[in-house]
């Protein structure tokens, strides 16, 4: 079984990005991200309604990080310091050396390669530091952009679950992608 510890919190860098811990100072950006209809289009979670929702979300994730139950980074542009998205491992299956990875980005930064860059770094951290054997991503089948990012990063489609998730009064499909640590 894996033994994970995120204290001190790992900060990661790529050519254009810094992946670092999100603080309450980023509540406004988190609210912008999670209240944006386009950014949340394929994420089956309610839109945030207030800045307080964002603050509570940041605190809840922070509490889980402190308990080593998950890890979540803000994605920041190196040049400006602007937070443009999030990426992290929200659910570990430590007995199986496996985790889910999830990510989102402000729509104006789509198509610029930022998420591919962040995902590559987060996957490398998951395999080399956490020592995961496999990483999975759960994707709405209509989210072509996310599927392309996963495929660019070496993930393969494992399956398509029909109507397995209930949200907003309808059943949604899920496509499962995964990558093995070879």
pLDDT in tens, the chain (182 residues): 888 999 999 999 999 999 999 999 999 999 999 999 999 999 999 999 999 999 999 999 999 999 999 999 999 999 999 999 999 999 999 999 999 999 999 999 999 999 999 999 999 999 999 999 999 999 999 999 999 999 999 999 999 999 999 999 999 999 999 999 98
Tell which residue, 118, 123, 164, 124, has the closest CA to residue 141: 164
What's the pLDDT at 131?
Answer: 97
What's the pLDDT at 182?
Answer: 86
What's the pLDDT at 121?
Answer: 98
Residues 176, 136: Cα–Cα separation, whole Å: 7
pTM (2 d.p.): 0.96
| Angle at alpha carbon of residue 71, lines to 18 and 58, rounded to 5° | 85
What's the pLDDT at 98?
Answer: 98
What's the pLDDT at 100?
Answer: 98
């Amino acid at each position: 079984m894996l033994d994970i510890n995120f204290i001190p919190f790992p900060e990661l860098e790529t050519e254009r990005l810094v992946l670092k811990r999100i603080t309450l100072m980023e509540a406004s950006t988190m609210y912008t991200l999670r209240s944006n209809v386009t950014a949340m289009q394929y994420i089956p979670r309610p839109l945030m309604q207030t800045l307080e929702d964002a603050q509570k979300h940041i605190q809840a994730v922070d509490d889980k990080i402190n308990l080593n139950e998950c890890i979540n980074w803000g994605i920041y542009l190196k040049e400006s310091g602007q937070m443009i998205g999030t990426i992290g491992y929200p659910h570990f299956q430590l007995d199986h050396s496996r985790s889910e990875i999830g990510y989102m980005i402000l729509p104006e930064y789509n198509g610029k390669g930022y998420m591919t860059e962040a995902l590559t770094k987060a996957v490398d951290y998951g395999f080399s530091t956490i020592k995961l054997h496999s990483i999975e991503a759960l994707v709405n089948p209509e989210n072509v952009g996310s599927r392309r990012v996963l495929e660019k990063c070496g993930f393969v489609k494992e399956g398509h679950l029909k109507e397995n998730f209930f949200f907003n009064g309808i059943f949604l499909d899920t496509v499962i992608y995964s990558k093995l640590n070879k």
